[in-house]
Structure 1
Amino acid sequence: MNSLFELDEQLIKLQFEASSREEVTTYLAGRLEAGGYIKSSFLPAVLEREKTYPTGLPLAAFGVAIPHTDPEHVNKPAISVATLKEPVIFHKMGSPDETVQAKIVFVLAISEPSKQLVMLEKLMTLFRKEEVMTKLSHMTSYEEAVDVLQQELNQ
Structure 2
Amino acid sequence: MSLNEILENREGKTIVFTNGCFDILHKGHISYLNDAKDQGDILIVGVNSDSSVKRLKGEDRPVNKELDRQFMLENLKAVDAVAIFEEDTPYNLINSIQPDILVKGGDWKVEDIVGHDIVTAKGGIVKSLRFENGYSTTDLINKVQGRS
Calculate the TM-score normalised by the size of structure 1. 0.31
Q: More strand by proportion, 1 or 2? A: 1
Q: Which has the higher contact order (CA 8 A, sep 6+)?
A: 1
Calculate the TM-score normalised by the size of structure 2. 0.32
Q: More helix by proportion, 1 or 2? A: 1
